[in-house]
């Protein structure tokens, strides 16, 4: 099992919240990066200061704002076309409402004709209603065009000012902008301009600025250390508890001499390189199957059956501390049988008290513990394979358990054994 997964399981059990530590860790990473960048920048500080100072002065002189260039271009386009706009809108209004044969007059006559047969046909009434709404919208359009026309006037002075402003902004953009997308480049230019003073302060401050940032970094490191050490202590306490509880669980799964250990290695808290986004700890899950055996990494020493039982025990314990909605176990009983299988079924039933548990199993000793028993059967028709799922009734379940026990669903002995198993489980659940 990967160390990251082991740590996540331990933190889930202990309810450990990494939020505060990770906020401090992020601050430390950011200020470290800022100091590193500043040191690199100082290598060519003088040249960059000259360029940045010139840019800051030109930017400050124009003080452009977000979206300004687009607005200016739109207004220039309008003011440069006042005469044409006036002609087109006036012509549209004349056609719409200023003549006897205007569009509105003709449409109003059309509405009167339709109104004269109102109530004679519902379908036509609906059409008339939609037509009336469209006519009202058209009248509103006429009012809007009239208002627009009254506000439309040439302003040579304003037009010239906008042209000059656009020219100045375009010149600034051409010199300092980045990229081929003009609108995006303009917005980035504004961001650069607004950050120019801070950047100049960083560069102009030189070593003094670095010294100031280093002090801040030490302060953040101190907070990060305190938070990480607390995380390590909390994990140590929870690792001991979890180790004992899981060991107790797996010993009830026909592994009486086994031992489960959460191993915690905490790195040197005085070394910045020891810290990760998850603290100072390296977590590993160790396992020993026999008395006197040295616990070693679970994935290397546990058999398939042992691994299945250990993971089940681990989830049962963690679920009591922090349940999740659904667990799915695919042949968790692989490599086991007899009493061990019964105990696996018992643990799965226990886990189902706090979460939904879906189990794929071939063992009757596990299946008898289920609240609902479903059977999957495959059938073939030519080149097509089909899987069907059926929920067992009480009688069908007994027959299916008997089949799982002996391979023969009609065996009387197997059915009696199945009934006995189901009865034992029911009594166990009640007690």
Residues 31-46 pLDDT 10s: 999 999 888 877 777 7
Residues 6+ apart with CB under 8 A from 351: 312, 315, 316, 319, 327, 357
Distance of alpha carbon 235 from its chain centroid, rounded? 27
Mean pLDDT value across the chain = 88
- Per the structure, the count of domains in the chain is 1
Within a domain: 130: yes
- Supply the DSSP symbol for 271: -
Within a domain: 222: no
Which of 212-221, 240-249, 383-392 is the least confident region?
383-392
pLDDT of residue 295: 93
Q: How do residues 244-282 score in pLDDT, each as one tens digit?
A: 999 998 888 878 899 999 999 999 999 999 999 999 999
Q: How do residues 192-201 score in pLDDT, each as one tens digit?
A: 888 888 888 8
Question: Taking the alpha carbons of 162, 163, 166, 172 in that order, is the dihedral positive or negative?
Answer: negative
Within a domain: 346: no
Residues 6+ apart with CB under 8 A from 210: 35, 38, 39, 42
Query: How many H-runs (helices) and E-runs (strands) does the chain carry?
Result: 15, 7
pLDDT of residue 215: 96
Q: Backbone phi, then psi, for 260, in 5-degree steps? A: -110, 130
- Over 70: is that where the pLDDT of 99 sits? no
In terms of residues, how long is the chain?
Answer: 431
Distance of alpha carbon 180 from its chain centroid, rounded? 32
Helix (H, G, I), strand (E, B) or coil at 362: coil
Angle separating helix axes 45-62 and 19-42, nearest 10 degrees: 110
- Supply the DSSP symbol for 330: E
Domain holding 107, by residue range, is: 19-208
Residues 6+ apart with CB under 8 A from 397: 373, 422
Q: From CA 269, how far away is CA 276, in angstroms rounded?
A: 11
**Burial category of 287 from C-beta neighbours within 10 Å (exposed 0-12, middle 13-18, buried 19 and up):** buried
Within a domain: 240: no
Q: Backbone phi, then psi, for 379, in 5-degree steps? A: -135, 150
Q: From CA 17, how far away is CA 97, in angstroms rounded?
A: 71
Q: Give the range with max mean pLDDT: 159-163, 197-201, 409-413.
A: 159-163
Where is 85: in which H helix or E strand? helix 82-93
Within a domain: 3: no
**How far is the CA of 388 from the CAs of 18, 54, 375, 401, in angstroms?**
45, 76, 8, 18
Per-residue HEC secondary structure of 385-407 comes to EEEEEEECCHHHHHHHHHHHHHC
- Over 80: is that where the pLDDT of 19 sits? yes
- Residue 3's nearest CA partner among 280, 222, 192, 233 is 280
- Share in percent of the chain as helix, strand, coil (round to 5): 70, 10, 20
Within a domain: 72: yes
Within a domain: 362: no
Within a domain: 324: no
Q: Is the pTM of this model over 0.75?
A: no
Q: From CA 217, how far away is CA 211, in angstroms rounded?
A: 10
**Residue 239's pLDDT band (cuts 50, 70, 90):** very high
């Amino acid at each position: 099992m990967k160390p990251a997964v082991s740590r996540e399981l331990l933190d889930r059990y202990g309810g450990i919240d990494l939020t505060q530590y990770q906020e401090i860790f992020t601050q430390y990473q950011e200020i470290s990066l800022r100091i590193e960048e500043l040191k690199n920048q100082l290598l060519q500080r003088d040249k960059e200061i000259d360029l940045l100072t010139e840019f800051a002065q030109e930017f400050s002189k124009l003080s452009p704002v977000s979206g300004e260039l687009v607005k200016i271009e739109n207004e220039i386009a309008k003011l440069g076309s006042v005469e044409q706009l006036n002609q087109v809108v006036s012509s549209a209004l004349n056609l719409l409402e200023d003549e006897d044969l205007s569009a509105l007059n003709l449409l109003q006559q059309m509405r009167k004709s339709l109104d004269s047969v109102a109530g004679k046909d519902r379908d036509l009434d609906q059409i008339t209603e939609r037509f009336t709404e469209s006519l009202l919208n058209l009248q509103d359009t006429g009012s809007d065009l009239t208002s627009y026309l009254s506000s439309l006037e040439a302003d040579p002075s304003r037009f010239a000012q906008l042209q000059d402003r656009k020219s100045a902004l375009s010149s600034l953009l051409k010199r300092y902008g980045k990229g081929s997308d003009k609108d995006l480049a303009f917005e980035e230019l504004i961001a650069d301009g607004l950050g120019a003073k801070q950047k100049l302060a960083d560069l102009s401050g030189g070593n003094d600025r670095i010294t100031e940032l280093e002090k801040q970094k030490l302060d953040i490191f101190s907070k990060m250390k305190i938070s990480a050490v607390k995380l390590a202590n909390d994990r140590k306490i929870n690792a001991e508890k979890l180790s004992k509880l899981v060991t107790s669980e797996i010993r009830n799964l026909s592994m009486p001499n086994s031992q489960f250990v959460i191993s915690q290695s905490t790195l040197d808290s005085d070394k910045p390189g020891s810290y990760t986004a998850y603290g100072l700890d390296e977590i590993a899950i160790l396992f020993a199957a026999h008395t006197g055996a040295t616990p070693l990494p679970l994935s290397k020493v546990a058999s398939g059956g042992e691994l299945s039982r250990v993971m089940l025990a681990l989830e049962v314990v963690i679920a009591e501390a922090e349940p999740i909605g659904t667990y799915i176990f695919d042949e968790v009983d692989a490599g086991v049988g007899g009493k061990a299988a019964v105990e696996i079924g018992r643990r799965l039933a226990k886990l189902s008290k706090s979460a939904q548990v879906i189990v794929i199993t071939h063992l009757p000793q596990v299946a008898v513990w289920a609240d609902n028993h479903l059977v999957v059967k495959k059938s073939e028709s030519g080149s097509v394979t089909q899987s069907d799922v059926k929920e067992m009734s009480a009688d069908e379940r007994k027959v299916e358990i008997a089949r799982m026990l002996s391979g023969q669903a009609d065996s009387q002995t197997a059915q009696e054994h199945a009934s006995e198993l189901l009865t034992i489980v029911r009594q166990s659940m009640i007690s």
